[in-house]
């Protein structure tokens, strides 16, 4: 069956940004509770959790909801600053080439991300996304979605796709993609490998997007 739409997750899929998140959460954890945060801890304990929940775990639920919301806003501002000041931030290898292929084949595509509006606007500017994706089609955390499944459903409707392909990098993303009837290509991560064979909707696991055209070319 041919794909009639493509939905990209953003963080960890189009943009490999784990190191920036670890950097910022580590700084805030040291400030809040005097403890560092490692990459292993981010992937095994905090992966897939919203900022507020991560800060609850860090501080043993010892702060108010207002403080947690403020910490979340501060964390994202620090994250954007770290990305911008790095001078090396770029979409993952093969991203723009895949965009070009989808344009050539007239396959609509967009982003469905749990990022907040401020981050999405930052990414649009940083990576010139408006040249490829209509910003009005991007689905992000505007407070109205109860799950990533709902985000994927919204993106699927925007694209008028009956059989979309989803590109993801998390177990929750793979699960939600299956829920909407989408096949998935996963950005490979060691912590995910034990789950791949549990999903008949996972086409392949790839290191970056350079591998994707050969996998889907005949289905566009």
Cα dihedral sign, 124-125-131-134: positive
Structure tokens at 32: 């809040």
Residue 1 is encoded by which pair of tokens? 């069956």
pLDDT for 79 equals 97
Per-residue pLDDT of the chain (220 residues; tens, 9 = 90+): 999 999 999 999 999 999 999 999 999 999 999 999 988 888 778 876 788 888 999 999 999 999 999 999 999 999 999 999 999 999 999 999 999 999 999 999 999 998 999 999 999 999 999 999 999 999 998 989 888 999 999 999 999 999 999 999 988 899 999 999 999 999 998 888 999 999 999 999 999 999 999 999 999 9
pLDDT of residue 44: 76
C-alpha distance from residue 74 to each of 57, 121, 133, 164 (Å): 17, 17, 28, 35
Instruction: Give kind and range of the element (H or E) at residue 8.
Output: strand 6-8
Q: Is there a contact between 193 and 205 (Cβ–Cβ < 8 Å)?
A: yes
pLDDT of residue 48: 66
Q: How far apart are CA 122 and CA 26, in angstroms?
A: 22
Residue 12 phi/psi, 5-degree rounding, is 85, -5
The answer to whether 53 and 209 have CB atoms below 8 angstroms apart is: no
pLDDT at 50: 80
Residue 94's SS3 state is coil
Query: What would the two tokens of residue 26 be?
Result: 């580590």
Domain range list for the chain:
6-16+90-219, 18-86
Beta bridge partners of 7: 110, 166
d(CA 85, CA 8): 25
Cα 46 from Cα 39, distance rounded (Å): 10
Cα 11 from Cα 97, distance rounded (Å): 18
Q: Can you spell out the DSSP letters for 54-92? A: HHHHHTTT-S-HHHHHHHHHHHHHHHHHHHHHHS---PP
Predicted pLDDT of residue 187: 97
6-16+90-219 architecture in CATH?
Answer: 3-Layer(aba) Sandwich (3.40)
What CA–CA distance (Å, rounded) separates 127 from 125?
A: 6
For residue 17, the model assigns a pLDDT of: 95
Which pLDDT belongs to residue 71? Answer: 95
CA angle, residues 91, 97, 103, in degrees to nearest 5:
115
């Amino acid at each position: 069956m041919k794909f009639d739409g493509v939905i990209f997750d953003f963080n960890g899929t189009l943009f490999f940004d784990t190191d920036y998140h670890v950097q910022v959460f580590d700084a805030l954890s040291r400030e809040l509770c005097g403890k560092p945060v490692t990459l292993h801890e981010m992937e095994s304990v905090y992966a897939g959790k919203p900022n507020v929940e991560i800060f609850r775990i860090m501080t043993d639920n010892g702060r108010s909801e207002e403080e947690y919301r403020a910490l979340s806003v501060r964390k994202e501002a620090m994250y954007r600053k770290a990305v911008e000041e790095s001078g090396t931030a770029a979409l993952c290898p093969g991203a723009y080439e895949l965009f070009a292929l989808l344009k050539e084949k007239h396959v609509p595509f967009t982003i469905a991300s749990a990022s907040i509006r401020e981050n999405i606007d930052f990414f649009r500017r940083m990576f010139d996304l408006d040249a490829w994706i209509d910003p009005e089609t991007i689905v992000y955390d505007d407070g109205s979605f109860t799950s990533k499944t709902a985000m994927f459903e919204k993106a699927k409707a925007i694209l008028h796709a009956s059989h979309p392909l989803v590109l993801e990098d998390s177990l929750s993303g793979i699960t939600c993609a299956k829920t909407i009837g989408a096949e998935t290509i996963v950005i490979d991560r060691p912590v995910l490998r034990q789950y791949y064979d549990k999903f008949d909707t996972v086409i392949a696991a790839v290191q970056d997007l350079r591998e994707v055209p050969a996998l889907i070319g005949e289905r566009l």
